[in-house]
């Protein structure tokens, strides 16, 4: 995820204050990983995870053509479960997320808060304005190289594949970032991190771990496909004329109920037990929009990766060429790649 809550040009004083405190905490509390590893008071479990981070950084630079710089060379222990909380919003009858403008990154479809209560207050304010609202915690975020992103206690206990995917995802943002195109950036990072994680697992020679991770990606694809189908139904609904707002709301509620039913059936299949938590979470236009940001163009980037013979340097060059296209042309190209994907 891209996170620049401290660089916004249109925030309130309270927003600036919580953002400055949050980023300042990361800077003040960080310790060099080498120092943590040399500290006899630190638990061996933590040291083992940090050694893995060092190995992932090395693999990213040597095998994936990803920039590492000084990112993930420090560790920060936080006293909260999330690095920050993100609020997304969409109109009642639209899937287009509300966006805010930020210096250096352009428009971004989310508002990040280091303070959970302020995030909740902001979400409530948007709900009162009639928006569908989703609020979620982020275990990590990228500053696109403006700061040395640290390893955080919020994600250090992820399993090996999960930790690898997160590190590769955030480093991908530093490899290429398109000003003002959040869906392109996040989908690119998602697809790249998945391919990179598969390559890293294969290099470790752990066939079982590779199969397990590949299966988890396929399960995620099945979930996102159901969400994509729901988005398509809602797009049609919102483009039609209706007798009344009430009838449109009823049709919208029916579509979401169908999605909940499909997810309930899915959770009974092997490997889908965590779908229950997703099904119980608030499901609305903002939820679908925020998920689509990370997955909408993933099939297109996978196809592009295959077209480049799964070679990361060539792939990044091809993505760079896409990024130079005007926005409308870029998205037409992504749509064509998606249609050509298996």
Name the 3-class secondary structure at 166: helix
Alpha helices per DSSP H over the chain = 13-29, 33-38, 44-63, 116-128, 160-175, 182-204, 207-239, 245-266, 275-280, 285-295, 298-307, 312-323, 327-340
Q: Does residue 308 form part of some domain?
A: no
Q: What is the mean pLDDT of each run of 10 residues along the chain (342 residues)?
A: 44 66 81 97 97 98 94 94 94 93 72 89 96 93 77 96 96 90 94 98 94 94 94 95 90 95 87 68 90 95 97 97 95 95 82
pLDDT at 282: 79
- The token duo for 281 is 């979470």
Tell me the Ramachandran region of residue 42: left when phi exceeds 0, alpha when psi lies from -120 to 50, beta otherwise. Answer: beta
Domain that holds residue 58: 13-296
| CB neighbours of residue 339 within 10 Å | 10
pTM > 0.85: yes or no: yes
Q: Does residue 145 form part of some domain?
A: yes
pLDDT at 15: 66
pLDDT at 196: 98
pLDDT at 21: 77
CA atoms within 13 A on the CB side of 66: 29
Task: Judge whether 2 and 144 are in contact, CB under 8 Å.
Answer: yes
Q: Does residue 340 form part of some domain?
A: no
Q: Does residue 153 form part of some domain?
A: yes
Q: What does the alpha-carbon distance between residue 11 and residue 17 come to, in Å, rounded to a whole number?
A: 10
Q: Does residue 312 form part of some domain?
A: no
Q: Does residue 35 form part of some domain?
A: yes
Tell me which residue of 88, 94, 110 sits closest to 231, measured CA to CA.
94
Q: Does residue 310 form part of some domain?
A: no
Task: Judge whether 73 and 148 are in contact, CB under 8 Å.
Answer: yes
Number of domains comprising the chain:
1
pLDDT at 103: 63
Q: Does residue 274 form part of some domain?
A: yes
């Amino acid at each position: 995820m891209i996170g620049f809550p401290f660089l916004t040009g249109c925030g309130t004083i309270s927003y600036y204050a919580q953002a400055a405190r949050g980023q300042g905490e990361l800077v003040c509390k960080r310790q060099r990983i080498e120092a943590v590893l040399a500290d006899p008071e630190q638990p061996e479990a933590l040291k083992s995870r940090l050694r893995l981070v060092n190995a992932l950084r090395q693999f990213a630079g040597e095998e994936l053509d990803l920039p590492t710089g000084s990112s993930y060379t420090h560790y920060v222990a936080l006293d909260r479960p999330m690095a920050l909380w993100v609020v997304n919003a969409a109109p009642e009858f639209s899937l287009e997320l509300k966006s805010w403008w930020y210096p250096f990154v352009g428009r971004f479809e989310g508002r990040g808060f280091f303070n959970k209560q302020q995030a909740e207050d902001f979400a409530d304010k948007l709900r009162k304005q009639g928006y569908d609202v989703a609020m979620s915690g982020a275990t990590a975020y990228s500053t696109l190289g403006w700061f040395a992103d640290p390893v955080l206690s919020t994600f250090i206990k992820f399993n090996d594949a999960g930790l690898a995917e997160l590190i590769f995802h955030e480093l991908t943002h530093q490899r290429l970032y398109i000003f003002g195109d959040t869906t392109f950036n996040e989908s690119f990072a998602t697809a790249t991190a998945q391919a990179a994680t598969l390559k890293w697992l294969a290099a470790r020679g752990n066939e079982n771990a590779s199969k397990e991770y590949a299966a988890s990606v396929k399960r995620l694809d099945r979930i996102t496909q159901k969400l994509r189908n729901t988005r398509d139904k809602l797009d049609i609904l919102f483009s039609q004329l209706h007798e009344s707002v009430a009838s449109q709301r009823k049709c919208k509620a029916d579509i979401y109920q169908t999605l909940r039913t499909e997810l309930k059936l899915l959770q009974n299949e092997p490997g889908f037990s965590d779908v229950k938590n997703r099904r119980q979470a608030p499901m609305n236009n903002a939820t679908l929009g925020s998920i689509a940001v990370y997955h909408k163009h993933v099939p297109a980037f996978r196809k592009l990766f295959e077209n480049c013979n799964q070679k990361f340097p060539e792939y990044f060059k091809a993505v760079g060429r896409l990024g130079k296209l005007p926005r409308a042309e870029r998205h037409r190209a992504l749509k064509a790649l998606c249609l050509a994907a298996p």
